[in-house]
Amino acid sequence: MSAEMEMKQKTHQIQLAGVGGQGIISTGRLLLSVGQEEGFLVKGNETHGMSQRGGSVVFQVRIGNFNGVLIPEGEADVLLSTEPMEAVRNINVLKPGGLVITETHRIIPAISNVIKKEYPPDEILYETMKKRTANIVKVPARDIAESVGNLRGANLVLLGVLVQLTDFFDPSLVEQKIAERWPKVSDINLETFHKGMEFASKLKLQ
């Protein structure tokens, strides 16, 4: 079997989670486009019924010869979340020992004030994640994006972390797709993506 054929048989399953307006859907679709461009079989599934109201949004990316579009519970290689509580909500889809990449900035839903239910403290959120895996990468993505003037670019920071840590996607192809998807702001979006890769390059996972 040639090296190229062997590469195309690799598989990768990613669950992206967040709330409406954080770029989950666009990030998921970009990953599908990159995977397809690289010659992989790709499948995607999105759930965003409340996305325009700040509700939970989920996008599943399956790369490889899978039968269905849904990632079974306990099989995702990576859980990427743009909000820590959403990481907890989706943690069961991650395989034991998988990788969690999560934004540290919390978005407290308005419904919390209505039902008088407090948003859990950080230590509880991360302890819950640790029951599934020790590989948890906390990323101040919003702060990193804002440092380069990209106020809506936290998802691109997280994407950069994902590309750097998983070593699955071709970074140059991801750059190409970013430029194609947002041509008018490609320079700042690419800078934001690179900041995410730079952040991840300094990390050490277990």
The DSSP string of 116-153 is T-PPPPHHHHHHHHHTT-SEEEEE-HHHHHHHTT-TT-
Total structural domains within the chain: 1
pLDDT at 49 over 60: no
CB-CB contact of 80 with 91 (8 Å): no
pLDDT digits (tens, 9 = 90+) for 94-144: 999 999 999 999 987 654 444 456 889 999 999 999 999 999 999 999 999
Q: How far is CA 107 from the centre of its chain?
A: 16
The DSSP string of 25-57 is HHHHHHHHHHHHHTT--EEEEEE-TTGGGT-EE
pLDDT at 52 over 90: no
Q: Residue 100 pairs with which residues in a beta bridge? A: 79, 136
How far is residue 43's CA from residue 61's CA, in Å, rounded to a whole number?
6
% of the chain surpassing 70 pLDDT: 87
> Which helix (H) or strand (E) is 156 found in, with range?
helix 154-166
What is the residue range of 161's domain? 3-201
Could you tell me whether strands 135-139 and 94-103 are parallel, antiparallel, or unpaired per DSSP bridges? parallel
pLDDT digits (tens, 9 = 90+) for 65-91: 999 999 999 999 999 999 999 999 999
Q: What pTM did the predictor assign? A: 0.90
Whole-number pLDDT of residue 150: 98
pLDDT digits (tens, 9 = 90+) for 144-161: 999 999 999 999 999 999
Query: Is the CA virtual torsion 140, 174, 178, 44 positive or negative?
Result: negative
Residue 163 sits in a domain whose CATH number is 3.40.920.10
Q: What average pLDDT is seen over the chain?
A: 90
Whole-number pLDDT of residue 54: 61
Could you tell me whether strands 12-19 and 135-139 are parallel, antiparallel, or unpaired per DSSP bridges? unpaired
Residue 206 within a domain: no
- Indicate the SS3 state at residue 197: helix
% of the chain surpassing 90 pLDDT: 80
Residue 70 within a domain: yes
